[in-house]
Amino acid sequence: MISGEGIRLRAVEEVDLPLFVRWLNDPEVRRGITVYRPLSLAAERRWFEAALQRPPDERPFVIEVCSQGEWVAIGNIGLHRIDWRNRSAEVGIMIGEKEYWNQGYGRAAMRLMLSHAFDTLNLQRVSLQVYANNPRAIRSYEKSGFVLEGRLRQAHYQDGVYHDVLVMSVLRPEWQDRHLHGGE
């Protein structure tokens, strides 16, 4: 388990799958992620079985927050496409419980994941892709230390409109400098 103040990342268990399906079947939650259509519990079970076959460092985590003395699952996060030679990876995150949106939990979970990536796994670079029509996520990533690297023009089609996809990253020295000098 990777723990922070009032938040932790833990391994995904099979009992989490109905919760994931509920989140992924909410069109508002799906707007910011690559999943674009509803899915079944059977499909999510197949995803879970495939996730268990991935290398351990590429298996996703459940994001839990302490609420009224109980740990509540609110989303998931994980590293993927880890390139050990170049010391880089991509990160993906989803806050599925909408009542926990806009409260800083995504940023706190990302901070834990970046600490894990740089301090535990010894990575040099962590990147992500975000839809340009998701300003809330972009602000959160910027507050976590990510900087814009580039733009994939009209690379995402949603609701009859093409949107740009932004490529953002944070490097280990930027992360370390931010924490050594009191940044978030």
For the CA atoms of 49, 71, 96, 122, what is the dihedral angle to 10 degrees? -60
Structural domain 2-180, CATH architecture: 3-Layer(aba) Sandwich (3.40)
Beta bridge partners of 77: 61, 93
Q: Which helix (H) or strand (E) holds 81?
A: strand 70-83
Residue type, 136: R
Residue type, 20: F
For residue 91, which of 72, 115, 74, 66 has the smallest C-alpha distance? 115
Q: Is the pLDDT of residue 73 over 90?
A: yes
At residue 30, the pLDDT reads: 85
At residue 183, the pLDDT reads: 57
In this prediction the pTM is 0.91
At residue 53, the pLDDT reads: 92
93-128: pLDDT as tens digits:
999 999 999 999 999 999 999 999 999 999 999 999
If you average pLDDT over residues 60-87, what whole number do you get? 95
- CA–CA–CA angle 114, 93, 36 (5° rounding): 155
At residue 181, the pLDDT reads: 61
| DSSP 3-state of 64 | strand
At residue 184, the pLDDT reads: 56
